[in-house]
Amino acid sequence: MMNGKGLPYVTATQPNPAGPSVLMLIDYAAITHPGKVRKNNEDAYLLSALDGEEPIINGPARSLKVGDAGLLVAVADGMGGAAAGEVASREGLAALALFLFGHWGRLTGAKALESELHKALEIAVEQASDAVLRYSDDDRTARGMGSTLTSAIIWKGCAYIAQIGDSRAYLLRQGLLHQITEDQTLVNDLVAQGSLTREQARTHPQRNMITQALGSPQPLRVVLLRLSLRRGDRLLCCSDGLHGEVSDARIQEVLNQGLSPRRSLELLVDEALAHGGRDNITGVILSLNDPGLPLPTPGEALDLIHPDALTRRRGIRGWFQGLFGGSAS
Q: Is residue 5 part of a domain?
A: no
3-class state of residue 106 by DSSP: coil
Strands 168-173 and 233-238: antiparallel
Residues 155-160 have a mean pLDDT of 95
Q: Is residue 317 part of a domain?
A: yes
| Residue type (1 letter), 315 | G
Kindly list the distances between the CA atom of residue 295 and the CA atoms of 14, 212, 228, 231, in Å, as whole numbers in the listed order: 19, 36, 11, 5
**For the sheet containing 176-179, what is the strand order?**
65-66, 10-12, 24-33, 281-288, 233-238, 168-173, 176-179
pTM of the model as a whole: 0.87
- Whole-angstrom distance, CA of residue 13 vs CA of residue 21: 6
Write the CATH number for 39.
Answer: 3.60.40.10
Domain residue limits at 289? 10-324
| Average pLDDT value for the chain | 85
Number of domains in the chain: 1
Q: Is residue 1 part of a domain?
A: no
Residues 228-233 have a mean pLDDT of 96
Q: Is residue 316 part of a domain?
A: yes
What pLDDT is stored for residue 329 in this prediction? 34
- Which comes out higher in pLDDT, residue 188 or 116? 116
Q: Is residue 3 part of a domain?
A: no
Q: Is residue 4 part of a domain?
A: no
Q: Is residue 329 part of a domain?
A: no
What pLDDT is stored for residue 82 in this prediction? 60
Q: Answer yes or no: is pLDDT of 20 > 50.
A: no
- Whole-angstrom distance, CA of residue 177 vs CA of residue 146: 29
Q: Answer yes or no: is pLDDT of 153 > 70.
A: yes
Q: Is residue 2 part of a domain?
A: no
If pLDDT is split at 50, 70 and 90, which confidence band does 81 have? low
Per-residue pLDDT of 86-136, as tens digits, reads 999 999 999 999 999 999 998 877 678 999 999 999 999 999 999 999 998
What pLDDT is stored for residue 326 in this prediction? 42
